[in-house]
Amino acid sequence: MMSIISYLKETKGELSHVNWPTRRQSVIFSVVVIIISILTALFLGLFDFVFSRILNLFI
């Protein structure tokens, strides 16, 4: 049981050394990820649509 408590104390100590992003940075990074995800989905959707149309021409 002591090892679990020791582990949790050490983990808490290590987490205090982490350089956490600010709220503003977190929001900006989240928006960037969402935008890139949407653009990637649109890009892949466009290719799927185009290749489906091309494939239907041959079938």
Q: Between the CA of residue 3 and those of 16, 41, 59, what are the distances in Å?
A: 20, 47, 66
Residue 32 half-sphere exposure toward CB, CA atoms < 13 A: 6
Global pTM value: 0.69
Written as tens digits, the pLDDT of the chain (59 aa) is 679 999 999 999 999 999 999 999 999 999 999 999 999 999 999 999 999 999 999 88
Domain-wise residue ranges, the chain: 20-59
Instruction: State residue 31's pLDDT score.
Output: 99
